[in-house]
Amino acid sequence: MSRLLRGLGASVSLALVLAPPLALAIATIVERGPSGELFASVVRWGLTVSDPFVLTCLWNSVALSLLVVAGAAGSGIALARVARSPSGWRRSLALTALRLPAGCHPLLAAIGLGLLAPALSPITEALPSPIGPLVARHARWLALGLSQFGFASAWIAWWTSRALDRLRPEWLQEATRAGAGRGWIWRTGAWPLVRPSVARASASVFAVLLLEPGGSLVLGLRRTIGSQIVASCGMTSRADWPRAAALATLGLAVSVVVRLILVRWAGPDELPPPASDSGNHRLPGPIAPSGPIAPSGPIRSALSLLAFSAWLLLVLAPAIALLSAVGRSLADEATLPALLDPPSPILGALAVGAGAALAAMALSGPLGSTRLSRPVGTLLDSIPPIALGVGLIALSELSRRSIPASPSSPIVSAILLALDPYRSPALLVSWATALALLPWALSAARRALPIDTEALQDRSLLSGSRRSRCRTLLFASLALRRLRFPILGLLLTAAGALSPALVLSPLGTSRPLGATILLDPGLGSSPLLCLAGLALLLQLLGTLLLTSSDPLGTDVSSLRS
C-alpha cells in the first residue's frame, strides 16, 4: 500500500510539474474556430517568426544574455578559485561574500543603478570622444548588462566552488608533489572535471536572464523578449495571451538549444557526488575539503584579494545604494502606513512565499523518492521562470475554451475557478513560484536523510519498539529538522521574487514584492523603495539559507538529539 501511495503521489506531482510547459507548447498550435471547435494551426508561429520587431527583441535578448553569461563564466571561475585559496574562517568568509550578489536580483540591481545614475554621469561625460558618446548612447543597455552580471557571476562562481570541493584532495597533492605547476594542474587535472558543472550552471543562468523582464522594464528597454511577454499578457485584457505564449515558447526553445550545446561541449559529470547528495542512506566516510590548486605566493594572494574586493564592490554597489535610499525613505511619515495598512503588500508577499515553499516541498517529497528527481530538476532549470507563468495562463485559457461555460459538475467549476488568474491569482502564483524553486526543494529533499539505515534498525531493536514504527518516527523528525532552513530559504526567496508572479497577478494583492514594485506604482516612490529594499534583504537571506550546507551533518548521533 505504501508503494502504491508513493507512486500515486509521484504521478500527481509529475503532472503538476509538466502541465505548464505542455500547455505552453499546445497553446501556440491550437486555434478556436468560429463555431467554437479547436483545431491545429501554425498561423501564430508564422505571425511571430515573421515579425521584424520580434526578431529584433529576440536578438537583443539572446546577444545580451550570451555576453553576460560568457563574462560571468570567466569571472566566476576565477572568483571560485580565489575564494577557495584561504583556509579556515577566511574561506568561509570569502564563500559567504561570494554568495551575496546571487541574492541581488536584476530588478533590484537595476533600481540601484538608477539611483547611482546621477553620481555616474560626470564619469561618463569625462570619457574621451570615441568612447564617451558610445557609452552615453547605450547607457541603458550597459546598465542592464551590469545588473545581470553580478547575479550571474555569483551563481556560476558558487557552483564552480562546489565542483572544486568535489575534487579529491589526494589528486591535487600528488600532482603538487610531482612538481607540476599551477597552470598545468588546472588545465589537465581540474578544469576537465569542473567544466561540466560550469556549463550546466551557465545554462541555468542563461535560462533565467533570457526572458527576465525586471531590469529591462525598470530601465525603460522595451526591445527585449521579456518586456514583450509582459506587454502581451495584458494587465487589463486577455486578448493577446497567444502572442505571449508564442514568445515564451520561442525563448524556451532558445534556452533548451543553448543548454544542449553547453552540455554537449562539457561532457558528462565525472566528479563523485557530494556525500549529502548521494541518494542513499549510508554514512559516507570522512572526506576532507580539497585545498587550493597550488600554494599561492604573497604577491599573487594580494592581487587576488584586490580583484575579489573590486568585483564585490562593483556588483554590490547597486544594493548599497538601494539600502541607503531606503534609510532616507523611512524618514517620510507616510511610508510605514502605506506598507502596513491592510491590505499590506508585505503580509501578502509572505503569505504567497509560504504557500510556494510548502508547495515546493510537497512536490519534492514524492519526486525525491523516485528516479525522476534529477530529470525534473534539469527540466525546470531549462525553463525560464516567466515561461512557467505564461504556461499557467495558457492552461487556464485552454481549459476555459475546451470546457463549456456552465459545466454541470461542481468539481469542474472549482477547477476552472482555481485556474483563473483574475479570480485565484494567489493560487497560480504559488504554483508557478513553487515550480521555479522546485530544483532547490529536490536538492534539500535528497539531503534530508543521509543516515545509516542499519544503525537505525539496531536502535529500534534496542529500544524495544517495532522496527517500522521507530524508523518512521526517527526519519520524519530528522527530516523536518534538516528541512527547516531550506523551507525558510524558499519562503524568503519566493516572497521577494518577480517572475513568474508578474504575469499571474494583474489584480490580486497577494503577490511577491518584486511583482508589487512593478504593478503598484500608485504606492509612491518612498514605499516602493522600501519594498525594494525589503525584497533585497529577503532575497539575500533566502539565498544564504538555500546555499548553506547541512547544519546537522551526517552523523548518526543526531538521531539521539
Q: Length of the chain, please?
A: 561
Question: What is the grid cell recorded at 182?
Answer: 599551477
Q: What percent of the chain has pLDDT over 90?
A: 32
pLDDT in the model for residue 452:
47
Q: Is the pLDDT of residue 253 over 90?
A: yes
d(CA 541, CA 298): 34
254-263 core/surface letters (b: 16 or more CB in 10 A; e: else): bbeebbeebb
Residues 6+ apart with CB under 8 A from 395: 19, 20, 23, 419
Helix residue spans in 297-424 (DSSP H): 298-329, 335-340, 345-368, 373-382, 385-402, 410-418
Residues 6+ apart with CB under 8 A from 62: 210, 254
For cell 588545465, the residue is 187
pLDDT (mean) for 544-555: 59
d(CA 318, CA 310): 14
Closest CA to 305 of 72, 86, 77: 86
Q: What percent of the chain has pLDDT over 70?
A: 76
Question: For the chain, which domains are there?
Answer: 1-40+330-561 (1.10.3720), 42-127+136-168+183-274 (1.10.3720.10)
For cell 525560464, the residue is 384
In this structure, are residues 101 and 151 in contact, taking their beta carbons and an 8 Å threshold? Answer: yes
Paired residues of 38 in beta bridges: 32
Question: What is the grid cell recorded at 30?
Answer: 491550437
pLDDT in the model for residue 1:
52
d(CA 482, CA 445): 9
**End-to-end alpha carbon distance in the chain:** 31
Q: DSSP label at 275?
A: G
In this structure, are residues 166 and 272 in contact, taking their beta carbons and an 8 Å threshold? Answer: yes
In this structure, are residues 202 and 73 in contact, taking their beta carbons and an 8 Å threshold? Answer: yes
Give the DSSP letter string of 291-314. Answer: --SS---HHHHHHHHHHHHHHHHH
The structure's pTM equals: 0.87
> What is the per-residue pLDDT across 475-506, written as a single tens digit (0 to 9) for each?
555 556 678 888 899 999 999 888 888 888 76
State which amino acid sits at residue 376: V
The CA–CA distances, whole Å, from 138 to 69, 124, 205, 208 equal 19, 11, 23, 23
Q: Is the pLDDT of residue 165 over 50?
A: yes
Give the DSSP letter string of 214-273. Answer: HHHHHTT--SSHHHHHHHHH-SS-STTHHHHHHHHHHHHHHHHHHHHHHHHHH----SPP
Closest CA to 318 of 526, 157, 533, 499: 533
Give the Cα-Cα-Cα angle 386, 389, 390 (nearest 5 degrees). 90
Q: Is the pLDDT of residue 248 over 70?
A: yes
- Bond from prior residue into 345 cis (ω within 30 degrees of 0): no
pLDDT in the model for residue 271:
74
Segment of 233-237, 312-316, 427-431, 505-509 carrying the highest mean pLDDT: 312-316
d(CA 530, CA 112): 12
d(CA 131, CA 125): 10
pLDDT in the model for residue 236:
45
Which of 40-54, 82-96, 102-116, 398-412 is the least confident region?
Answer: 398-412
Q: DSSP label at 39?
A: E
Burial class, 97, CB count within 10 angstroms (exposed 0-12 / middle 13-18 / buried 19+): middle
pLDDT in the model for residue 208:
93
Phi, psi of 342 (to 5 degrees): -65, 145
Segment of 80-94, 118-132, 378-392 carrying the highest mean pLDDT: 378-392
Q: Is the pLDDT of residue 107 over 60?
A: yes
pLDDT in the model for residue 559:
32
For residues 519 and 154, which has the higher predicted lDDT (pLDDT)?
A: 154
Distance of alpha carbon 255 from its chain centroid, rounded?
A: 15
Give the DSSP letter string of 184-203. Answer: HHIIIIIHHHHHHHHHHHHH
pLDDT in the model for residue 49:
85
pLDDT in the model for residue 426:
82
pLDDT in the model for residue 279:
43
For residues 526 and 390, which has the higher predicted lDDT (pLDDT)?
A: 390
Say whether 561 sits in a helix, a strand or coil: coil
